[in-house]
Amino acid sequence: MTVFLLIIVALCLYKIKLPKPLLSGFNDNCLDITVTNSIKGIFILLVFLSHVNNYLLAYPEYLSSRLNSIYCNFQMQHLGQGIVIMFLLYSGYGVMESIKKKGTAYVNAIPCKRFLTTLINFDCAVFLFLILGLFLGTYKEWSIGQILLSFTGWTGIGNSNWYIFAVLMLYMITFVSFKIGKEKYNLSACFVTLFTFVYIVVMSRFKEAWWFDTVMCYPIGMWISINKERIFSFFKKNKVNYYAVTLSVMIAFVVLHIFRNKHILCYEAAILLLSVLVVLITMKIDINNPILQFLGKYLFEIYILMRLPMLVLLHFGITNTYLFVIISFVLTVLMALVFKKLLKFVDNGILKLCKIK
């Protein structure tokens, strides 16, 4: 697994661009879709390895390899839920950018264009897991209630669900917040932040920490969008400003990361600072990688389907790390390509039904 992690590092270094001049230069495109897709591509690869690791941990021969145990310790001790933070931050940023461009019309379309399409796309994938469960015989482990609730994201039937459930709730939080605050973006973003905090409190009563410990990255993305011009202006005014802020964020992150197991607030703060740090780094380092951009473009499909081939491989006893990773990754990408075409057809039908262009 460590080998595959090093491959990800190599991909990060491929086709990177540094600003000119190096010290005072600035990447104005750090939040453009080409860059954000590249970053999301990096993180979806980390999610993929994390899922592989979780499945293979049950096999003694997996940890008998030193390379696997190194990755396992790194994943559990340092990566954790940090592998999804940029999905949430960029989602919040993207929604806010769309609201700034399209205004009330976009807000009114959120229940259909964002919530309903995401839910139905997710349900299409859940249906695939249900079919697989029937073929593999794992359906016997599921209750009727579990199967029905899996279509809402509240439970799972072998699929990834907590992230989708969180995103669905964040979309509705955004809709309600902007209906209250209207075009007062700062006020509306305050409501998004407040309601997200309420979501964390409520979910902490019902679910494990990973269901809610990264969701505050979503409103952070919104705040970055709202203050983007001010942030850029501040950093461009004096190169010292950028380095002072970046160094401060980096130090604070390291300190809080060290104490992450002492209190949940330390972990939450560290997660938020890490997401901000990634954005700060892209202000200087432009990752313009076609491979990562491709993966970022197919983020949803890869994320929601990657467990399917893994479950099949485990069923047939294929647990060799290299075979498991390569076969499941290739099959996931191929399925993602087909699934995206299906979802495009589904989305067009939903938008026509909602009478949204």
- Domains of the chain, residue spans: 2-354
pLDDT at position 357 is 56
**How far from the centroid of its chain's Cα atoms is residue 191's Cα?**
22
Q: Percentage of residues in the chain with pLDDT exceeding 70?
A: 99
The phi-psi region of residue 25 (left if phi > 0; otherwise alpha if psi is between -120 and 50; otherwise beta) is beta
Question: How much of the chain exceeds pLDDT 90, in percent?
Answer: 67
- Mean pLDDT for the stretch of residues 287-309: 93
For range 10-19, the mean pLDDT: 80
pLDDT in tens, 40-58: 999 999 999 999 988 988 8
Q: For 54-88, write each residue's pLDDT tens digit.
A: 898 888 787 777 777 788 777 777 778 888 999 99
The rounded distance, in Å, linking the Cα atoms of 151 and 129 is: 11
**Local structure of residue 169 (DSSP, 8 states):** H
For 205-225, the DSSP string reads TTS-GGGTTTTTHHHHHHHHH
Q: Using one digit for the tens of pLDDT, what is the confidence trace for 215-236? A: 999 999 999 999 999 999 999 8
| Nearest Cα residue to 222 out of 267, 192, 254 | 192
Check pLDDT > 60 for residue 94: yes
Whether the per-residue pLDDT at 28 is higher than 80: the answer is yes
Cut 0.75: pTM above it? yes
Predicted confidence at residue 313, as pLDDT, reads 95
- CA distances to 16, 157, 316 from 138, rounded to whole Å, are 45, 9, 13
Is the model's pLDDT at 9 over the cut of 90?
A: no
